[in-house]
Amino acid sequence: MLGATRRIKIQLKNFRYFSNFNVSMANLTRSGVLLIKEEVKRALERNDPVVALESTIITHGLPYPDNVKCAMDVENEIRQKGAIPATIAIMDGVIRAGLDYEQMVYIGNVEKSKPIKTSRRDFPYVIGKNMNGGTTVSGTLIVANALGIPVFATGGIGGVHREGETTFDISADLIELGRSRVAVVSSGVKSILDIPKTLEYLETQGVFVATYGLTQDFPAFYSRKSGSKAPYSVDNPTEAAKIILSSKFMNLESGMLFAVPVPEEQALDEDEIQGVIEKALEDAKKKEIRGKQITPYLLRKIWEITQGKSLHTNIALIKNNARVAAEIAVELKNLEKKAEPKSDALPRKSEGKTDGIVVIGGSNLDLCAKLECDDMKLDGRMHPSKLSYVAGGVARNICEALTKMGSSPAFITAVGDDEPGKLLLSLMPDNLKRSAHIVKGKNTAQCVIVLDSKGDCSHLLADLDIHKEITAEVLYKDDSILKNAKLIVLDANITVESMEIILKYATEHNIPVFFEPTDVVVSAKPFETSYWKSVKIITPNINELNFIASFLKLRSSEEELNSGDTKQIAEVARTVASYIDNVIVTLGSNGVLIARNAKASEPFLLGQTDKHIQVRHYPAENVENIVNVSGAGDCFASGLILSTLRELSEEKCISIGFSAAKKTLQSPFTVADDMAIENIRNWEKCAIYYSI
């Protein structure tokens, strides 16, 4: 069973039973009981309109394959109105909020999936035994309420069954409506039920009921009138949304029902369908069918008697309800945004202006130890050194350099709530502090960098576990960051799982990605994902290039690259450039080497403009008075990023990158203070290169 959502297998040791299901999304997801489709999760985190959908229509309502087609059509109706559908179901003991086509086919083929009709009472059994389940209206209400989805579309809700005064057969849908803060859009209650008693019961539960249209005539599912009146009526999505918002402001804990009559052209005659229902009820009574089996049996019997007419009506009303629900959900979000209170507090991250650069990756507190002796002896002796704390991390360095160059990058990173974290934040520019995700109980990333007397890195020790906390939740915490991206910059500190999410988003929205490999052992992470083609620029050093080429099976992992053999490096870069549009190999004091299907006079993000991959070597100019080299590569990358977005030629981009790196080489800081654009030379100069 393939799905757009990454599978999470429940481990028994992590499984938690809940005393009730009035729980938060965070608790459900942490327990492994709930898995949310990425587009649904993203919409919830961005506060975009979402419409919940039940799954018993797939598992118990319509025959296969009509059930699957109907479910997909209903989702499409919701999308066309500007909302995101979230079909709720249980698969292999995991609640799914959002299904893809393959999952719908799987659960819709009931002979194979054997789903259980799942209401509140059934959840523990279905989940505990790793079974499949189609959620009823009440079951879907529970999940929608936990997720904070305020609008739910269905065909018709359950209610008080005929002769309910003696059988006490009352649907759990009514109980759940009375305690879930969700507005249900349906064609009233199923016409096989006792509609007047159902309306009375809803009143007892404190459920707001209104018809949707110009009349208060309560619909009867297959037909537009039931003979009963609703307490209220609403005319349009705005009126409905205002009522939902008012209930939210009042903090009422009960749900709402908006009863939408079936479209007139698909409605069945009231008297005709009533006679059909009577026949179906009589047949069910003879066969002693009751409980959760009664509704699917009656619907199937009605379908047989009407020779399929009821099925067409059922599908038509479900689609219509979905359209109305989506319109209400969209209008509700519009009203909520208008009603948001103004604040004099610091602006949220999303409110700062950005120039389209989004940087995602590590922030570290670096302890730099510069040796005063010529070399380091690993025999336990003390080495006289000059020690200093600096803010580091590849992504953070790039962000700071871009900021000092006059850019306004958005930054996604993670920092611990410990003392090193406080110190790190105090060393960061204000715009970077605001964007940091503070993780309680985690160590801030720290590196010990040992520099030799010449300023070159000799040894590196690191604790970088916190970078694993840059999760999907963090990535989508602020809706405008990725949405407004023109270029995404990644370092290799984040996990492959998070990288997959980012690269998938970049692929879907046609956003180019700039990847800084960071370290040899993690340099091939993008190629472990399914969306590596969104990476358009990589900046490996020689060892990282060799590792990437080996990972891609372009050369043996046993082969090493000779740092002094430019032609050998060029050939490896040429092979890697058959995968990535722009391969920029940093050679340290020997400059950079570029492999791409384009001329030096062309910008980087034009795509492949030449038939053959060209390789060029840009030697670096000699730099005197070098103080340290720890941030030079990151500053080179920053100059490259900023000039690339300005669509400057490759020659000019490299010249600007060299100038930015030189500033930091001559500075005691990871990023020099005077990185302003007017202080960076060579914005008009073309760097000199040699073709290889």
Cα 469 to Cα 543: distance, rounded to the nearest angstrom: 27
CA distances from 311 to 36, 293, 300, 550 (A): 30, 18, 9, 58
Measuring CA to CA, which residue among 449, 463, 461, 460 is closest to residue 416?
463
Q: Which of 54, 176, 469, 650 is catalytic?
A: 54
Cross-strand bridge partners of residue 516? 491
Q: Which of 37, 41, 81, 190 is catalytic?
A: 190
Which residues contact residue 378 at a Cβ distance below 8 angstroms, ignoring those fewer than 6 apart? none
Cα 356 to Cα 645: distance, rounded to the nearest angstrom: 9
Compute the C-alpha angle 492/495/496, nearest 5°.
Answer: 90
**Per-position DSSP letters for 279-338, written without gaps between them:** HHHHHHHHTT--GGGHHHHHHHHHHHHTTTHHHHHHHHHHHHHHHHHHHHHHHHHHHHHH
| 278 noted as active-site residue | no
E-assigned strand segments in 108-231:
116-118, 133-135, 151-153, 183-186, 208-212
> How far apart, in Å, do the first and last CA atoms of the chain sit?
49
Q: What is the SS3 string spanning 67-108?
A: HHHHHHHHHHHHHHCCCEEEEEEEECCEEEECCCHHHHHHHH
| 468 noted as active-site residue | no
Structure-token pair, residue 517: 């490999």
Phi/psi of residue 159, nearest 5 degrees: -165, -155
* 484 in Cβ contact with 356 (< 8 Å): yes
Cross-strand bridge partners of residue 463? 446
* 356 in Cβ contact with 485 (< 8 Å): yes
Measuring CA to CA, which residue among 74, 254, 103 is closest to residue 179?
254
CA distances from 614 to 148, 160, 582, 600 (A): 54, 75, 10, 9
DSSP state of 497: H
Which residue carries 């200093």 as its tokens? 388
Residue 55 CB coordination number (10 Å): 30
* 657 in Cβ contact with 604 (< 8 Å): no
Catalytic residues: 54, 190
